[in-house]
């Protein structure tokens, strides 16, 4: 009778997460390839929406797409000392090809700083070649010991921006610009509020001078690193000889950045909005905005309700939301009860469901129901279509407001270690003063927490460090994390 039960969040959050993915038809474990996943059409459609929006933002900030090889010579990875140390444990290596052992193994890219560095060295000679602003949409592989769908898989899809600049100042500007792009995207498109901040030295990207992050709060109170932007300094420039002649005729190494977001965003999306009935999608990322369910008992009603559905669908498709045509689907399936169809689309997170049955035809109205609950509303058929974009926008805004309210309600300040531990036990975001002593990492590890970041918008709030009691100027964000 009831297909596809979804475990309530309160009962088992991890199981709920998997149920939502399965019932929402987003993805499944690859099962014949360890740690990898198959992203199913509905899940991939969400990724395509993410890509489309981000790509537009990248282009708008002057970047151009390019593509570099999947395989990276092993020697490249080794050229930057910290980089190789950071990535060595998770490299997948190709040792044979064409039936022969290779002279030099290739690694399947875990990220592309090295191979891009190699080519940047060829492309850049003069300050006139700078800045060089490149982005790549690609798959990468990191051999993870523990995987979770979307959040951490052996292979994942992402974009990696790689830029080269003449000065460190320009480089830092770029790092912050792209962090802002990510932050704005997360909030306005994903409706997922984030804390922008700088990573501690021990959570820096391997090979970077500094790493900046956007951190989001999931419904279980854990933090998710949703995107990163790195100031690579001249580390890769030096390792790969990426040099340019300055205006003054001096030879200098370029300053580089890299920044990326991945399919992990979909995991964040799920854990920000979805509920015990399954997937909830913000309209801006929903592959289908409105599903129309015609209700009929016989051929005559079928013909009439479908005709009405077609008419409204056509009106809707002529409209736009968020610079894109509305995506509308009519569920024409026979032999399936309306109720069954409701569940079907609900689990897939479609923002609005429209019901058109004989009663509606009589009244020249339709029944509208928003995915996140509330009663059905009845809207005159004549103007329902033109109301939809506004309704979607309101829904989008409410999802963000709700997520923000949740995060704020679960964020606290702590001024003693006891309070910190107590708050972390309740899975809160905790803001505490810290004077910079690296010993904090180990101490937090004992309670499965980490410094997520040093928030960029932190106000001066001098006081004793929560760890050492030394004078600290600002608070950092501490939380459990994915």
Partner RNA sequence: CGGGGCAUAGCUCAGCUUGGUAGAGCGUCUGGUUUGGGACCAGAAGGCCGCAGGUUCGAAUCCUGCUGCCCCGACCA
Compute the least distance from the CB of residue 398 to RNA, in Å. 18
339 binds RNA (CB under 7 A): yes
Phi, psi for residue 68 in degrees, rounded to 5: -115, 160
Of residues 33-62, those binding RNA (CB under 7 A): 33-36
Of residues 205-244, those binding RNA (CB under 7 A): 205-206, 225, 228
Following DSSP, what letter does each residue of 42-90 receive, concatenated? HHHHHHHHHHHHHHHHHHHTT-EE----SEEEHHHHTTSHHHHHHHGGG
Compute the least distance from the CB of residue 23 to RNA, in Å. 8
137 binds RNA (CB under 7 A): no
Return the number of the residue (88 or 318) whose C-beta is nearest RNA: 88
Residue 243 forms beta bridges with which residues?
A: 253
Residue 252 forms beta bridges with which residues?
A: 244
Compute the least distance from the CB of residue 113 to RNA, in Å. 12
Interface with RNA (CB under 7 A), residue from 40, 57, 148, 304 = 148
> Helix, strand or coil for residue 181?
helix
> Helix, strand or coil for residue 361?
helix
Edge-first strand order for the sheet with 365-370 is 328-330, 290-294, 352-356, 365-370, 377-380
Binding mask 274-313 for RNA (x = CB under 7 A): ---x-----------------xxxx---------------
- Whole-number Å distance between alpha carbons of 226 and 46: 16
Q: Which 8-state DSSP code applies to residue 278?
A: B
Compute the least distance from the CB of residue 79 to RNA, in Å. 18
Interface with RNA (CB under 7 A), residue from 10, 11, 32, 457 = 32
Of residues 155-184, those binding RNA (CB under 7 A): 156
Interface with RNA (CB under 7 A), residue from 98, 249, 335, 462 = 335
Following DSSP, what letter does each residue of 437-459 receive, concatenated? -THHHHHHHTTT-EEEEEETTPP
119 binds RNA (CB under 7 A): no
- Whole-number Å distance between alpha carbons of 140 and 70: 8
Compute the least distance from the CB of residue 209 to RNA, in Å. 15
Binding span for RNA by CB under 7 A among 96-104, 149-157, 169-177, 317-325: 149-157
344 binds RNA (CB under 7 A): yes
Structure tokens at 476: 């950092």
Q: Is the peptide bond before 94 cis (omega within 30 degrees of 0)?
A: no
Return the number of the residue (289 or 433) whose C-beta is nearest RNA: 289
Compute the least distance from the CB of residue 315 to RNA, in Å. 18
Return the number of the residue (99 or 375) whose C-beta is nearest RNA: 375
Binding span for RNA by CB under 7 A among 56-64, 188-196, 201-209, 387-395: 201-209
Of residues 252-281, those binding RNA (CB under 7 A): 262-264, 277
Of residues 396-435, those binding RNA (CB under 7 A): none
Binding span for RNA by CB under 7 A among 167-175, 247-255, 332-340, 416-424: 332-340
Of residues 69-108, those binding RNA (CB under 7 A): 86, 89-90
Instruction: Show Cβ contacts of residue 155 under 8 Å, excluding neighbours closer than 6 positions.
Output: 33, 35, 36, 37, 139, 140, 141
- Whole-number Å distance between alpha carbons of 4 and 86: 41
Return the number of the residue (248 or 334) whose C-beta is nearest RNA: 334
Structure tokens at 422: 């107590």
**Of 351, 386, 357, residue with least CA distance to 370:** 351
147 binds RNA (CB under 7 A): yes
Q: Which 8-state DSSP code applies to residue 364?
A: T
Return the number of the residue (303 or 340) whose C-beta is nearest RNA: 340
- Whole-number Å distance between alpha carbons of 452 and 224: 9
Return the number of the residue (33 or 394) whose C-beta is nearest RNA: 33
445 binds RNA (CB under 7 A): yes
**Of 169, 261, 249, 278, residue with least CA distance to 215:** 261
- Whole-number Å distance between alpha carbons of 22 and 86: 33
193 binds RNA (CB under 7 A): no
Return the number of the residue (324 or 437) whose C-beta is nearest RNA: 437
Compute the least distance from the CB of residue 29 to RNA, in Å. 4
Of residues 353-372, those binding RNA (CB under 7 A): 353, 355-361, 366-367, 369
**Angle, vertex CA 280, rays to CA 276 and CA 161, nearest 5:** 130
Binding span for RNA by CB under 7 A among 115-123, 145-153, 379-387, 407-415: 145-153
Q: Count CB neighbours of 358 within 10 A.
A: 15
Interface with RNA (CB under 7 A), residue from 25, 129, 173, 203 = 203
């Amino acid at each position: 009778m009831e297909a596809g039960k979804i475990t309530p969040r309160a009962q088992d959050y991890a199981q709920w997460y998997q149920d939502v993915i399965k019932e929402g038809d987003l993805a499944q474990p690859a099962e014949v390839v360890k740690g990898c996943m198959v992203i199913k059409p509905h899940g991939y459609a969400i990724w395509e929406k993410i890509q489309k929006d981000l790509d537009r933002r990248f282009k708008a900030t002057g970047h151009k797409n390019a593509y570099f090889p999947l395989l990276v010579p092993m020697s490249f990875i080794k050229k930057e000392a910290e980089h190789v140390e950071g990535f060595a444990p998770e490299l997948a290596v190709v040792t044979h090809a064409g039936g022969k052992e290779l002279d030099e193994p290739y690694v399947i890219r875990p990220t592309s700083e090295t191979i891009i560095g190699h080519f940047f060295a060829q492309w850049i000679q003069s300050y006139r070649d700078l800045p060089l602003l490149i982005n790549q949409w690609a798959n990468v592989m990191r051999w993870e010991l523990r995987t979770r769908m979307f959040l951490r898989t052996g292979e994942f899809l992402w974009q990696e921006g790689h830029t080269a600049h003449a000065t460190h100042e320009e480089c830092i500007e770029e790092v912050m610009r792209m962090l802002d792009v990510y932050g704005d995207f997360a909030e306005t498109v994903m409706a997922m509020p984030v804390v922008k901040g700088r990573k501690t030295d021990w959570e820096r990207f391997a090979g970077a001078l500094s790493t900046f992050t956007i951190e989001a709060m999931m419904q279980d109170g854990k933090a998710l690193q949703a995107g990163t932007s790195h100031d690579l300094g001249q580390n890769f420039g030096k390792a790969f000889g990426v040099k340019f002649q300055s205006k003054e005729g001096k030879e200098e190494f370029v300053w580089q950045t890299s920044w990326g977001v991945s399919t992990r965003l979909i995991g964040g999306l799920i854990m920000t909005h979805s509920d015990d009935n399954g997937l909830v999608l913000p309209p801006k990322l929903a592959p289908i905005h409105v599903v129309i369910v015609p209700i009929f008992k016989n051929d005559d009603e079928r013909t009439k309700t479908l005709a009405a559905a077609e008419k409204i669908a056509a009106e809707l498709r002529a409209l736009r939301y968020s610079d894109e045509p509305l995506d509308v689907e009519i569920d024409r399936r026979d032999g399936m009860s309306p109720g069954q169809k409701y569940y079907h689309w609900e689990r897939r997170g479609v923002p609005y469901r429209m019901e058109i049955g004989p009663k509606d035809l009589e009244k020249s109205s339709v029944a509208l129901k928003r995915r996140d609950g509330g009663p059905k509303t009845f809207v005159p058929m004549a103007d329902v279509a033109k109301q939809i974009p506004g309704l979607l926008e309101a829904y989008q805004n409410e999802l963000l407001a709700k997520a923000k309210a949740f995060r704020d309600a679960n964020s606290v300040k702590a001024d003693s270690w006891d309070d910190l531990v107590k708050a972390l036990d309740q899975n809160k975001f905790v803001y505490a003063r810290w004077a910079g002593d690296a010993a904090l990492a180990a101490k937090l590890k004992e309670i499965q927490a980490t410094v997520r970041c040093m928030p960029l918008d932190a106000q001066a709030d001098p006081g004793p460090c929560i760890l050492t009691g030394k004078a600290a100027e600002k608070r950092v964000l501490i939380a459990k994390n994915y």
